[in-house]
Structure 1
Amino acid sequence: MKAEIITIGDEILIGQIVDTNSAWMGQQLQKLGIPIVQITSISDQAQAITKSLSEASKRAEIILVTGGLGPTKDDITKHTAAAYFQTTLRTDEEVLAHVTNFFTSRGRPMLPINEKQAEVLANAEVLFNDQGTAPGMWVTQEGIHYIFMPGVPFEMKFLMEQRVIPKLKALKGVQAIWHENLLIAGLGESFLAAEIEDIENSLPTHIKLAYLPTLNLVRLRLSAMGESLENIQAETRSYAELLAARLAAHVIDRQDRSLPAVIIQHFTENGLTLSTCESCTGGSLAAQFTAIPGASKMFIGGTIPYSNRLKELLADVPASTLNLYGAVSEQTVRAMANGTKNKLSCDYALATSGIAGPDGGTAEKPVGTIWIAVAGKYETLSKCLHLKNDRSTNIARTQLEVLFLLWNLYIKELSNPRIEDI
């Protein structure tokens, strides 16, 4: 049994909002063993909605639709769906009572337009929405399950978790699915593929290998589908073990998670602490760590000394260093890392300073010149980056580079401890 996701809204197509709904729904569906064959974003137009529903019904047995369920004129999903299913809309009294209470409890007037929220497809099972005024709807026709939900993320997630997923679990024909992941560092995608070509060629047809590359890292994902979860788990893990053994020197992690999450676990288990001193990355590295539960066990905090004055005050960078070498230099970034480590009394400290663009460069230090440094327990590593992307991409690449530099120094010092650590 396969699924397709359709998101409706001009705001998605013009980039006003990012479609996070599809990514989240995809994660939930894969846990259920329901593969997604396609994700489509379309405009608030009847022709586009009708065409998408018709084409999706040829590819999938489960069609999830989000968006266009509001009471205003631009929300036409319900009327278009009624025409598609050759049915009508009816007022659901329970939903109407909920909508009325929603407004009165907040001291707001109930307008006639708001009553339209209680209109549902006559052939649908109502998916009651405790979190908002737009109910979800489930229609089954000719063996295809159509599920309509509001586009507001927290409302969609509530309906999925409380109404939709329990019903999906009860459907027949859902196969078991299992994933094994390896996070690989130090090998480019093409070199990696050549290294494991024989293992990849030996995979049975129900196990697929995907390469998911980023800067410095490649995530390998083995995905299997079958009738028995226990069987495909054991079989997929056996191939993951083969890959891990072949790539032992390059395997960072065996779970589907980010490098900051891996660092948090390792630092926590080894009683290590970390801080950040960010100029050109503007606190985004600290944000990556603090977004992960458990970061407080190892992350001390961070500073954003964007100006030279704050580099002196917050990271103890000598004024003479800044005057002689400038803010974007190896000497300054190493001083930022070491000063932060000493000032905050932590084991490791990261530092970034550079010209992310689009302006600010010079002949000696063009846009994209970025220095990064990591101060460790015993030594400090630094590196100069010469990036040629736009500002946001330059910052993102800097984040990945300094995290990888931190990982390399951590592994080096873990493998070669000093006498005082033994």
Structure 2
Amino acid sequence: MEKTAASIITIGDELLIGQVIDTNSAWMAQELNKIGVWVRHRLAVGDVWDDIWKALDEESAQSQIILITGGLGPTADDITKPLLNEYFGGKIVVDEGALANVKHIFEKVLQRPMIERNLKQAEVPDVCKVIQNKRGTAPGMWFEKDNKIFVSMPGVPNEMKGMMTDAVLPALREKFRLPFIAHRTLLTAGIGESFLAEHISAFETALPSYIRLAYLPNYGMVRLRLTIQGEDPLAMEKELQEQFDRLRKLTAQWMVIDEDLTLQEALGKVLKARGRTVGTAESCTGGYIAHLITSIPGSSQYFKGSVVSYANEVKQQILGVSAATLETAGAVSEETVREMAAGALAALDTDYVVVTSGIMGPDGGSAEKPVGTAWVAVANRQRIDAQRFWFRFDRQRNIELTATNALNLLRKFILADG
């Protein structure tokens, strides 16, 4: 089967100068891949008429699907709509559905008056199919020209994702004959990407051409994703599962979970399955671990709370760390995190705690405790385990790596607890 190719064009000067990070195209590419659409190109262009026009010409010469985000706002620099109107030879009209949506948002949701500029959001080229925006005021637009599909959506990620999920992806599935595609994903921790690749090299080499293995590393973890593509869903699913079972056996000692979940989601599943609760006491991570845990819907079932004990007086007054320990061993030490853990269990009245204290940088290190040093403790009422880590990166990455390793240490601790 011939591949169905797509190009993604993101529009906005803010993308080119780094003021805004383009997360739209990455998300769109992932979702297109899931339905069997091959993303040929991803490119960003500024708010320049000729550049956008050229991008449309060049990408439609190579791809059957051109997805566009950005430039649909109500201000003068938002030129995507008038450009598309001219590009497809239309005239601007008011879409009644979009107008009703704009009025509803201003009158019922925002409860403030509209101005003429807001009403212009309901104007669209008469040659497009309107995609109603359930999350904002700017409608999307679907154009067809020379057997090619052009879809223009807002640059606001939440609005774009709503349109893609509700309207665009289902319509693309109907419009094109797409191959069957399926994925299996597992998450590993505690082994680097290169070592992992070496360990499973024979498995990867033996894979048939229609099954691909992807390595997706991120902050001390590596996701492994197997993807199969073909014509026979039943046969493809069976073969994919057989290969995935082999991969699971090869990576068993590092595998966190054999689903496409984050580490914090995997931890949540373990806690919910056991009916247990957890809390955090964080110094160097400043509440980041609590943020990761509570980013998961339903985490209130198992997360009790957090003590961000950044200052030593908080470690003493809230967690009961002794002044003598802080004086002799220091805040970044095994002794301190053990006392923090004991105090957190009592203060938060929880089954488990995870505790951090470290030096994230760029300053504050010493020969004995260099920048990147982190002590992590995990505990229940019967036992406290502590481990020292050292990371060699910038402050933000050191924080993220500390949090990742702390969550994984906690996960293993809970599993060992029975």
Report the alpha carbon displacement of residue 57 of structure 1 after superposing the two structures with TM. 1.8
1:56 and 2:59 are equivalent in the alignment: yes
Report the alpha carbon displacement of residue 154 of structure 1 after superposing the two structures with TM. 3.1
1:91 and 2:73 are equivalent in the alignment: no
1:45 and 2:45 are equivalent in the alignment: no
Equivalent residue for 1:297? 301
Q: Which amino acid aligns with 1:58?
A: A
Change (3 A) 1:317 1:240: same
User: Which of 320, 323, 344 is equivalent to 1:319?
Assistant: 323
1:359 and 2:354 are equivalent in the alignment: no
Runs of 5+ in structure 2 lacking a partner?
none
Contact kept in structure 1, 2:219 and 2:397, CA below 8 Å: no
Q: Which amino acid aligns with 1:194?
A: E
Identity over aligned residues, as a percent? 43
TM superposition score normalised by structure 2: 0.90
Report the alpha carbon displacement of residue 396 of structure 1 after superposing the two structures with TM. 0.8
Change (3 A) 1:189 1:362: closer
Q: Distance in 2 between matches of 1:161 and 1:193?
A: 34
Equivalent residue for 1:79? 82
Equivalent residue for 1:13? 16
User: Which of 342, 349, 367 is equivalent to 2:346?
Assistant: 342
Secondary structure class of the residue paired with 2:253 = helix
Q: Which amino acid aligns with 1:403?
A: L
Number of residue pairs aligned between Structure 1 and Structure 2: 412
Contact kept in structure 1, 2:95 and 2:123, CA below 8 Å: no
Report the alpha carbon displacement of residue 231 of structure 1 after superposing the two structures with TM. 2.7
Report the alpha carbon displacement of residue 68 of structure 1 after superposing the two structures with TM. 0.2
Equivalent residue for 1:120? 124
Q: Which amino acid aligns with 1:20?
A: T
1:2-401 paired onto structure 2 within 5 Å? 2-85=5-88, 87-94=89-96, 97-98=99-100, 99=102, 106-111=111-116, 113-376=117-380, 378-401=382-405
Deviates more, 1:178-187 or 1:235-244: 178-187
Contact kept in structure 2, 1:275 and 1:348, CA below 8 Å: yes
Report the alpha carbon displacement of residue 22 of structure 1 after superposing the two structures with TM. 2.8
Secondary structure class of the residue paired with 2:175 = coil
Q: Distance in 1 between matches of 2:398 and 2:62?
A: 39
Equivalent residue for 1:418? none
Deviates more, 1:310-319 or 1:51-60: 51-60
Secondary structure class of the residue paired with 2:44 = strand
Deviations 1:228-270 (A, max 9, x none): 3333222111100111123333322110111111111112212
Contact kept in structure 2, 1:333 and 1:371, CA below 8 Å: yes
Contact kept in structure 2, 1:67 and 1:150, CA below 8 Å: yes
Q: Distance in 2 between matches of 1:126 and 1:309?
A: 59
Contact kept in structure 1, 2:85 and 2:92, CA below 8 Å: no
Change (3 A) 1:392 1:215: closer
Secondary structure class of the residue paired with 1:35 = strand
Deviations 1:379-412 (A, max 9, x none): 3222233333221111111111212222333344
Report the alpha carbon displacement of residue 97 of structure 1 after superposing the two structures with TM. 4.1
Deviations 1:121-146 (A, max 9, x none): 34222223344332211111111100
Q: Which amino acid aligns with 1:89?
A: K
Report the alpha carbon displacement of residue 107 of structure 1 after superposing the two structures with TM. 4.4
Q: Distance in 2 between matches of 1:15 and 1:257?
A: 29
Contact kept in structure 2, 1:103 and 1:110, CA below 8 Å: no
Secondary structure class of the residue paired with 1:11 = helix
Q: Which amino acid aligns with 2:60?
A: S
Q: Which amino acid aligns with 1:110?
A: I
Equivalent residue for 1:420? none
Deviations 1:190-238 (A, max 9, x none): 3322322222122111110011223443211101112233332221111
Runs of 5+ in structure 1 lacking a partner?
415-422
Deviations 1:330-367 (A, max 9, x none): 21112112221233333321111122122333454343
Contact kept in structure 1, 2:99 and 2:119, CA below 8 Å: no
Secondary structure class of the residue paired with 1:180 = strand
Q: Distance in 2 between matches of 1:299 and 1:131?
A: 30
Contact kept in structure 1, 2:345 and 2:381, CA below 8 Å: no
Q: Which amino acid aligns with 2:53?
A: T
* C-alpha RMSD over aligned residues: 2.4
Report the alpha carbon displacement of residue 176 of structure 1 after superposing the two structures with TM. 1.8
Report the alpha carbon displacement of residue 90 of structure 1 after superposing the two structures with TM. 1.8
Secondary structure class of the residue paired with 2:256 = strand
Contact kept in structure 1, 2:272 and 2:301, CA below 8 Å: yes
Deviates more, 1:101-110 or 1:231-240: 101-110
Deviations 1:130-178 (A, max 9, x none): 4433221111111110001111233323322333233223113122211
1:402 and 2:406 are equivalent in the alignment: yes
Deviates more, 1:64-73 or 1:190-199: 190-199
Secondary structure class of the residue paired with 2:37 = coil
